[in-house]
């Protein structure tokens, strides 16, 4: 079966426009790490089109219509998707399809992944499958599209032609993608002060003009004092000196810029007397060494004798506030002075590729993998028996508050009449064996009954753990091995790599919403430890914590705000291999001691294991 034709696409990063007076379905797509264009949902595409109609150079906050896309923003000017928490940028495009095709009818074809979640096909594949389905073909070969899969409509399955593995697929009706007719008017080019003719009298322009006049006076004085300049070499070819690479610099700041001084290389949102940069600015500058050097407006080359005034840390990682640095750079550019912008560093998340033959077991740690299965809740032990095991009865309690019910210990528990247990009188008071803190016995029974009910008890005051604490981590796999690379700060040792993998699934009775599906984002997750004595000690305790289901839990992500998803459980890991830009990497001299303290707080320590 031949592949259906795609819509017209404009080259480069500009917006695509359909031919005049021809109806087309609009599908917005983003480019993933495998160089495949993945479609946004119809709801998201409608949202993008609505923003596009209002401001073709604006930005689109995807989290307004899809909770799973909270960190993502699309910049319509540069046609890129920007992830705010990591800084990752991916190209996006606006594609057009026939209204009678699958997106025009709101038909989505999806396949089931290993975690049981449904993933939409690329749009061209979806259209191909729908065409074959409508023609009542019994099967479809996707090899013409570059995929070694066969689609069987009778069984609604997809089969890998090489491995013979089958997956389920489904056809789902959803919202139809937005429809457009003709072309949307292109945005006008940004005004430049030089072409406006009349100078502006706003306060910002007066400030910049005075700065420009002062800088010109300084430059003239420097030229009079400076010795004759030596003969200059011939100018380099357009785009910068030999070996220089022209790159687009992006800075994300918010500032009011006068309309008459707003350069063509900037973009923003129009206001009453200028432009507000709401997404950022960009410029094509030649790269020299580790900084970007903007060319002057006239000859494309920096004039000799002009002092370079660096404006650094525009990405906010240093002591200079990004808005202050950005405004300084704008004023310097307006005054004709060169600006040196430091290259924004990128985190090194993963080590160089490692062959299987170079991967070795960790010395002193048996095995290379641990798996946890779904925990079936044991028949709950009598809460009263668990509490009595760790408490000693107090005959004459002091006249102080019980920190659970906030009633006096010499009076009855605040849970009197709310919770009843045979043999537990509301006025009974007990002392925990190791820490000595005292509570109403009925209060501790209530606290245990509302917890994981695993036979352990944790003091609500000092967090001391009695028994073996277990968590609610979903089933998954933990792998660990040595790789022949060193972490920053540990040049003489190899690295222990830990790989956690947890698939999506259904929440159990110990989770926040039993029976509801939970997601597992970002797996497999890679973490790193130095291969020294303390690093191997941390690894052994992490294995124990994994087996006790304490590494992860199900809750709400602090990063994306997504609920019912797998999140870390108060035991910090280093997920950045070769840098420490995010705070989750090396060097970090106190990390190993800190994580040992966190493990101890969860009841995981060598002393507890020997006890």
Give pLDDT tens digits for 354-374: 898 999 999 999 888 888 766
| Confidence band of 46 (pLDDT split at 50, 70, 90) | very high
Predicted confidence (pLDDT) at residue 196 exceeds the cutoff of 50: no
305-329 residue pLDDT tens? 433 333 333 444 444 444 555 555 5
> Which range among 271-285, 415-429, 466-480 shows the weakest confidence by mean pLDDT?
271-285
Q: What is the pLDDT of residue 535?
A: 96
Q: Which of 37-41, 465-469, 500-504 has the lowest mean pLDDT?
A: 465-469
pLDDT at 219: 54
Average pLDDT score over the chain: 75
User: Which of 201-215, 441-455, 539-553, 569-583: highest mean pLDDT?
Assistant: 539-553
**Separation between Cα atoms, residue 604 and residue 591, nearest integer Å:** 17
Percent of the chain with pLDDT over 90: 35
What does the chain come to in residues?
611
Residue linked to tokens 């074959």: 132
Q: Is the pLDDT of residue 241 over 70?
A: no
Task: Please compute the mean of the pLDDT values over residues 565-588 and round it to a whole number.
Answer: 91
The pLDDT value given to residue 294: 38
Beta strands across the sheet bearing 525-530:
369-372, 476-483, 495-501, 525-530
Query: Across 82-96, 280-294, 385-399, which has the greatest mean pLDDT?
Result: 385-399
Nearest to 91 by CA among 14, 197, 21: 14
Distance between CA atoms of 62 and 70, rounded to whole angstroms?
Answer: 6
Span 338-346, mean pLDDT? 54
What is residue 235's predicted lDDT score, i.e. its pLDDT?
46
Per-residue pLDDT at 497 exceeds 70:
yes
- Judge whether residue 88 has pLDDT over 60: yes
Choice between 487 and 300, residue whose per-residue pLDDT is larger: 487
> Which of the two residues, 215 and 590, has the higher pLDDT score?
590
Question: CA quadruple 259, 261, 263, 264: dihedral positive or negative?
Answer: positive
Rounded-to-integer distance, Cα 525 and Cα 500, Å: 5
The tens digit of pLDDT for each residue in 163-185 reads 888 999 999 999 999 998 865 43
The pLDDT of 28-35, averaged and rounded, is: 88
At 75 the pLDDT is: 87
- The answer to whether 383 and 424 are in contact (CB under 8 A) is no
Structural domains present in the chain = 23-181 (3.30.720.50), 383-460 (3.30.40.10), 477-608 (3.30.390.130)
Q: Other C-beta atoms within 10 Å of 228: how many?
A: 5
Q: Do the Cβ atoms of 38 and 122 come closer than 8 Å?
A: yes
The set of residues, in sequence order, having a beta carbon less than 8 Å from that of 39 and lying 6+ positions away, is 27, 28, 29, 45, 103, 120, 122, 123, 126
Highest mean pLDDT of the ranges 12-26, 137-151, 520-534: 520-534
List, for residues 451-464, the tens digit of each pLDDT value.
778 888 888 888 88
Reported in sequence order, the residue ranges of 443-516 that DSSP labels E, i.e. its strands, are 457-458, 465-466, 476-483, 495-501, 505-506
The reported pLDDT for the residue numbered 385 is 85
pLDDT band at 349 (very low <50, low <70, confident <90, very high): confident
CA angle 410–416–418, rounded 5-degree value: 155
Kindly calculate the radius of gyration of the chain based on its CA atoms and give it in whole angstroms.
32
Name, in order, each residue with C-beta under 8 angstroms of 503's C-beta and a sequence gap of 6 or more.
114, 115, 116, 475, 476, 520, 523
- N-term to C-term CA, the chain: 69
250's enclosing H/E stretch is strand 245-251
CB 1 within 8 A of CB 131: yes
Q: With 60 as the cut, is the pLDDT of residue 20 above it?
A: no
* Amino acid 331: pLDDT: 58
pLDDT over 70 at 298, yes or no? no
Q: Which residues are within 8 A (CB) of 54 and not within 5 positions of it... i.e. 6 or more apart?
A: none
pLDDT of residue 170: 94
């Amino acid at each position: 079966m031949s592949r259906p034709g795609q819509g017209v696409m404009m080259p480069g990063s500009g917006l695509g426009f359909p031919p005049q007076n021809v109806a087309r379905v609009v599908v917005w797509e983003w480019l993933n790490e495998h160089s495949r264009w993945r479609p946004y949902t119809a709801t998201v595409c409608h949202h993008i089109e609505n923003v596009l109609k209002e401001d073709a150079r604006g930005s689109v906050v995807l989290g307004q219509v899809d909770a799973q896309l909270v960190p993502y923003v699309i910049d319509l000017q540069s046609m890129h998707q920007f992830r705010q928490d990591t800084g990752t940028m991916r190209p996006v495009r606006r594609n057009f399809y026939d209204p009678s095709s699958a997106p025009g009818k709101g038909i989505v074809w999806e396949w089931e992944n290993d975690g049981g979640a449904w993933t939409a096909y690329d749009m061209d594949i979806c259209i191909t499958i729908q065409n074959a389905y409508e023609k009542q073909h019994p099967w479809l070969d996707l090899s013409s599209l570059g995929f070694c899969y066969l689609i069987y409509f009778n069984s609604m399955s997809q089969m890998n032609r090489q491995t013979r593995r089958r997956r389920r697929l489904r056809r789902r009706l959803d919202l139809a993608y937005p429809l457009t007719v003709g072309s949307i008017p292109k945005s006008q080019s940004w005004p430049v002060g030089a072409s406006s003719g009349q100078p502006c009298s706003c306060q910002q322009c007066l400030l910049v003009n005075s700065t420009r006049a002062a800088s010109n006076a300084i430059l003239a004085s420097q030229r009079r004092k400076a010795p004759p300049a030596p003969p200059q070499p011939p100018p380099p070819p357009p785009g910068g000196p030999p070996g220089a690479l022209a790159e687009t610099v992006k800075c994300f700041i918010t500032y009011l810029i006068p309309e008459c001084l707003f350069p063509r290389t900037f973009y923003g949102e129009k206001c009453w007397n200028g432009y507000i940069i709401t997404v950022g600015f960009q410029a094509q500058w030649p790269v020299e060494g580790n900084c970007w050097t903007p060319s002057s407006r006239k000859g494309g080359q920096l004039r000799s004798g002009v002092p370079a005034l660096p404006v650094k840390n525009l990405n906010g990682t240093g002591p200079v506030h990004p808005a202050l640095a950005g405004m300084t750079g704008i004023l310097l550019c307006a005054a004709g002075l060169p600006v040196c912008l430091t290259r924004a560093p990128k985190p090194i998340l993963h080590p160089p590729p490692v062959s299987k033959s170079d991967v070795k077991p960790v010395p002193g740690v048996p095995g290379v993998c641990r798996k946890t299965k779904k925990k079936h809740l044991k028949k709950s032990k009598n809460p009263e028996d668990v509490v009595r095991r760790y408490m000693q009865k107090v005959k004459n309690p002091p006249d102080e508050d019980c920190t659970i019910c906030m009633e006096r210990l010499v009076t009855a528990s605040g849970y009197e009449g709310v919770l009843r247990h045979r043999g537990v009188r509301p006025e009974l008071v007990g002392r925990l064996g190791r820490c000595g803190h005292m509570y109403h016995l009925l209060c501790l029974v209530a606290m245990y009954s509302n917890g994981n009910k695993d036979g352990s008890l944790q003091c609500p005051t000092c967090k001391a753990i009695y028994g073996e604490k277990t968590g609610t981590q979903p089933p998954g796999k933990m792998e660990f091995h040595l790789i022949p690379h060193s972490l920053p700060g540990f040049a003489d040792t190899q690295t222990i790599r830990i790989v956690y993998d947890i698939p999506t699934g259904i929440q159990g009775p110990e989770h926040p919403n039993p029976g509801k599906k939970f997601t597992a984002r970002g797996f497999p997750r890679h973490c790193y430890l130095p291969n020294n004595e303390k690093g191997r000690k941390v690894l052994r305790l992490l294995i124990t914590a994994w087996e006790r289901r304490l590494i992860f839990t199900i809750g709400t992500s602090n990063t994306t705000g997504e609920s019912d998803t797998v999140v870390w459980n108060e035991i910090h890991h280093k997920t950045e291999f070769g840098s420490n830009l995010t705070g989750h990497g090396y060097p970090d001299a106190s990390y190993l001691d800190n994580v040992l303290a966190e493990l101890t707080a969860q009841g995981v320590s060598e002393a507890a294991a020997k006890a």
